[in-house]
Structure 1
Amino acid sequence: MSWIPTPGPAEAFVVEEIDQDEVGEWYHVYSIDPHANTAFSFSEGWGDTRFAPLALPDSTPVHTYYAASTFNCAIMESIFHDVSLEPPGSFDLDKLSSYRIARVAFDYPIPCVTFHSPYLLALELDRHRLIESLPAFYAHTRRWAQAAFDQRPDAQGIAYGSRRHDAGRCVMLFGQRLSNYPDRPFRVIEHASLAEPPLRSRIIKLAASLKIGMV
């Protein structure tokens, strides 16, 4: 898992379009503390994730937006991202007051570099190294996201399978490449606090199924 090759200058990245026929709705978890984010807010270079932060040629941060194809996947990729599953860890339910979740729909096809397993072979990568590596290797996995951004200027995001919940799909959008749409590239169907019922109960149920302790 520790060996992740460095991308070359002309990798065989494949771009596929994501649309409503493929995934009707996506789920986006966002924090409202300490920043007053909304369901439309993009990360503007802060954070430390598998594929971000990225940079434009002038070093300006690429604005990024994560979404997952199911509610449980979105929770696993955000709220429970750092909670151990083996052995099961614990989570402070009071932290939910800082988080909201939005259901969003892509009104237009979004071309994305695909990091799904069949397309990693041409890159001489596998899911084990790129998607399932631990946070200690994020500096290496981000190089592949940066190369995808640089080498495929037609791409408006990256699509991949969730590490934390492999039944779900994830997408990370590039904000600066979404400016050509007649309106926002996605529509917020609804958004709600994760601290309030019924969403709080759904999180508790998910935690119980994973033996995660609630404190």
Structure 2
Amino acid sequence: MALALDPTAQDLLFREAHTAHTFTGEPVDEEQIAAVYDLIKLAPTAFNQSPLRITLVQSAEARKRLVAQMAEGNRPRTATAPMTAILSVDLRFHERLPELLPSAPHIKDAHFSEQGPREAAGTFNATLQAGYFLLGVRAAGLAAGPMTGFDADGVDKEFFGDGRQKALLVVNIGRPGPDAYRPRNPRLAAAEAVTTV
């Protein structure tokens, strides 16, 4: 195959990786997540805007608040996962652009002065970073259980009361437990998804 990544790494990141639904009790610490972030922060974003924010939910009190916002089927796995992260978009990411894009400090005002376009750009780019985050978790030898089944407004009120951040995804993280994975569903073949023009 025309891939530079060796087959073991391909399996770890893609072929054998699944969404995990159960986890062992082995803890995941902040240092592991920091190492994941140091890897995935290099993901491409427009104008290097880097709008993704990661909130680690560790305390029993914070976890209880989060579990209450999850869809019924996601509550047990969120309550028992060793680590849970709320991935959100910083709606004021543009304030950091002068330091993140020092060669073009004018970009902040020229492109992101209006809230609607700014939120759309931030959400798109934070979502791109979220995909990289899931790969980073896998690269760390951990399993991820990403979920959109939660009350986003409720999570925003509980964790981002100042309105600066907006929740995009909740991810349970840990070592896969018994029966962690469901059978993989089919995917489209390259001939069905790729068109050459």
Fold-level match, TM-score > 0.5? no
TM-score w.r.t. the length of structure 1 is 0.27
Which protein has the larger Cα radius of gyration, Structure 1 or Structure 2?
2
Q: Which has the higher helix share?
A: 2
Q: Which has the higher strand share?
A: 1
